[in-house]
Amino acid sequence: MAQRRELIAVMDFGSQYTQLIARKVRENNVYAEIVSHRISARELKKRKPIGVILSGGPASVYAEKAPELDPAILEMGVPVLGVCYGMQLVVKHLGGQVRGAARREYGRSNLDVCDSADLFEGLPWSLVAWMSHGDSVEKLPVEFTVLARTRDCPYAAVRHTGGSIFGIQFHPEVHHTEHGSQILRNFLYKVCGASGSWRMSSYITEAIAEIRAKVGGEHVVLGLSGGVDSSVAAVLLQRAVGGQLTCIFVDNGLLRKGERDSVAETFGRQFDMDLRVVDAGERFLAGLKGVIDPEEKRKVIGRLFIDVFREESRRIADVKFLAQGTLYPDVIESTSAFGGPTSVIKSHHNVGGLPEELGFELIEPLRYLFKDEVRKVARELKLPHALVVRHPFPGPGLAVRIVGEVTAERLALLRECDAIFIEEIRRAGLYEEIWQALCVLLPVQSVGVMGDERTYESVLAVRAVDSVDGMTADWFRMPHEVLDRIGSRIVSEVRGVNRVVYDISSKPPSTIEWE
């Protein structure tokens, strides 16, 4: 995305907290974007950042293939804050030394502040900081002053005499660091001179302007799934280029009850978009016939989706652009700070996964946002509340919630169970407390008794999880009376299921979906 005014560039050295830094900066009303650690000073300069934050990272600065920093970045005259590994890199480049510490410092540490001129202005002299490092600075370059220390770390925060390069060994971005957000805020406002004018609404205005500039008079297609990401992307595109947008919704037959109608109603009627609904259920079912292996299912569905999408988009004249609701986590899941391959747990497929071979130019207006930020944008855009809070739903749909073969009958069964499950969760007022809730139809039959009859029917697993980003999750502590209603309603109302079990696994070691 093109440069924005008052940009903070967060350079990613592979820390699991990089995204959190960007997010905390935005929460302080300054726009932040994550950039690769490979960016050169020249490229960075073009983006005109008002400050640069160097993230932490798992490597050791002297290790072979450790992610490096273009040292010219330290001479750009733009304020730099190095966090953990980022600080160690700064020290290494400016003539200091970093060593494996005698003692690893991990978790909470007491930080004693000895200079509160800028970063620590307005903060107590002693506070709890969260540390996570094996290496530490052994020798500080001469031009640096110490701002804070802990028992094991004499250089917990340092400042270059020039006044605009800082290093901190702890993590201000994590929740456990007291006043962490204030420390970042001090960097942004007192060191970088930010004005704090950025708001989520600015994101919308800027995104729309950028889309307009890029698209000109050309035509755009967008794969709409009905989820919040593609919906927000669609509404942004519509606001930007109106009639030049066509949305394609592929009904793969693997959707939940009422989903297709609600998408058609919301986007086709309420938002008055040019929406093409493609009825491809039969085709997907045929492709999935006899397929049991989860990865194979995902591949079949992914391939068919592309075929159907391609065929439909060819019916629209002169399409130049493909818009999609790719989010920042999708971007980092597929690339790593070291550029190496990340291990494939599941080959995710979503409408954001269309390949380049389609031959369109990409527009990804959400690629720097996190899910909760997209929800904020959705609210600003006045998308229906139900859509804004909708639980995530996987691209391969109910197919990955049917263990074993996907058939029309098993789909129908699962759809009914899912509708009851979600209805009861809503009725109990829990829908928005739960991150995701789903039913899984098992290829297991069990004996039951109904009336005086013996039954031999399917087992259904129900699962609800707490999560922030889907990367880790814990099972939701569902009240027993709600579980009770769910279980008895499903067994009595859905013919073909005589037993319901509740999944109490967390991720890791399990995953959220069963396949």
**20 touching ligand XMP, by CB under 6 A:** no
The catalytic position among 37, 93, 160, 171 is 171
Q: Closest Cα partner for 34 from 52, 55, 9?
A: 9
Q: Which of 320, 346, 379, 489 binds ligand XMP (CB under 6 A)?
A: 346
Distance, CA of 152 to CA of 232 (rounded, Å) = 48
Q: How far is the CB of 355 from ligand XMP (least distance, A)?
A: 15
Shortest CB 507 distance to ligand XMP, Å: 5
Asked if 205 touches ligand XMP (CB under 6 A), the answer is no
Q: Does the active-site annotation cover 265?
A: no
The owner of tokens 């000073």 is 41
Q: Which residue type is seen at 448?
A: G
Pick from 82, 167, 395, 487 the residue near ligand XMP by CB under 6 A.
395
Per CB under 6 A, the segment of 9-17, 267-275, 358-366, 388-396 that binds ligand XMP is: 388-396
Does 392 interact with ligand XMP (rule: CB under 6 A)? yes
Give the C-alpha separation, 397 to 401, whole Å.
8
Please check whether residue 118 is in contact with residue 190, taking contact to mean a CB–CB distance below 8 angstroms. yes
Q: What are phi and psi of 220, to 5 degrees?
A: -125, 140
The stretch near ligand XMP (CB under 6 A) out of 264-272, 341-349, 376-384, 447-455 is 341-349
Q: How far apart are CA 68 and CA 40, in angstroms?
A: 10
Identity of the residue, 223 or 487, whose beta carbon is nearer to ligand XMP in the bound complex: 223
Residue nearest to ligand XMP (CB): 350
Residue (186 or 350) nearer to ligand XMP, CB: 350
Binding-site size, ligand XMP (CB under 6 A): 14
Which residues within the stretch 445-474 sit at the binding site for ligand XMP (CB under 6 A)?
470
Q: Considering the rule CB under 6 A, would residue 511 count as an interface residue with ligand XMP?
A: yes
199 vs 346 by CB, closer to ligand XMP: 346
Choice between 99 and 507, CB closer to ligand XMP: 507
Backbone angles phi, psi at 97, to 5 degrees: -135, 145
Question: Among 33, 37, 84, 439, which one carries the catalytic annotation?
Answer: 84
Shortest Cβ distance from residue 506 to ligand XMP (Å)?
Answer: 11
Minimum gap (Å) between residue 300 Cβ and ligand XMP: 12
376 binds ligand XMP (CB under 6 A): no
Q: State the CB neighbour count (10 A cutoff) for residue 269.
A: 10
Q: How far apart are CA 210 and CA 214, in angstroms?
A: 6
Q: Which structure tokens are listed for 153?
A: 């770390």
**Rounded distance between C-alpha atoms, residue 251 and residue 305, angstroms:** 10
**Pick from 349, 367, 401, 415: which binds ligand XMP (CB under 6 A)?**
349
Mapping DSSP onto H, E and C, the string for 464-489 reads EEEECCCCCEEECCCCHHHHHHHHHH
Looking at 67, 226, 394, 487, which residue binds ligand XMP (CB under 6 A)?
394
Distance CA 353, CA 396 (A): 12
**81 vs 105: CA distance, rounded Å:** 21
CB nearer to ligand XMP: pick between 173 and 513: 513
Residue 328: CB minimum distance to ligand XMP, A:
15
**Residue 396 makes contact with ligand XMP by CB under 6 A:** yes
Stretch that binds ligand XMP, among 61-69, 205-213, 348-356, 489-497 (CB under 6 A): 348-356
350 binds ligand XMP (CB under 6 A): yes
Residue 334 found at the interface with ligand XMP (CB under 6 A)? no
Answer yes or no: 247 catalytic.
no
Q: Taking Cα atoms as reference points, which of 6, 11, 149 lies closest to residue 68?
A: 11
Nearer to ligand XMP, 117 or 471 (CB): 471
Least distance in Å: CB of 223 to ligand XMP? Answer: 11
Alpha carbon distances (Å) from 32 to 3, 37, 468, 485: 10, 15, 20, 46
- Least distance CB 149 / ligand XMP (angstroms): 41
- Does 348 interact with ligand XMP (rule: CB under 6 A)? yes
Residue type, 276: R
State the residue for tokens 């996570």: 132
Q: What is the DSSP letter of 401?
A: G
Q: At closest approach, how far in Å is the CB of 482 from ligand XMP?
A: 21
Q: Report how far residue 135's alpha carbon sits from residue 99's, in angstroms, rounded to the nearest whole number.
A: 5
Of 105, 104, 191, give the one whose Cα is nearest residue 147. Answer: 191
513 part of the interface to ligand XMP, by CB under 6 A: yes
Instruction: List binders of ligand XMP among 471-510 (CB under 6 A).
Output: 507
Is residue 436 close enough to count as binding ligand XMP by CB under 6 A?
A: yes
Task: Respond yes or no: is residue 84 known to be catalytic.
Answer: yes
User: What gap in Å lies between CA 243 and CA 325, rounded to an integer?
Assistant: 19
Cα 142 to Cα 410: distance, rounded to the nearest angstrom: 71
According to CB under 6 A, which residues from 63 to 102 bind ligand XMP? none
What's the one-letter identity of residue 233? A
Q: How far apart are CA 487 and CA 482, in angstroms?
A: 9
Show the CA angle centred on residue 254, arms to residues 477 and 372, nearest 5°: 50
Please report, as ranges, the residues that interact with ligand XMP according to CB under 6 A: 346, 348-350, 392, 394-396, 436, 470, 507, 511-513
Q: Which residues carry out catalysis?
A: 84, 171, 173
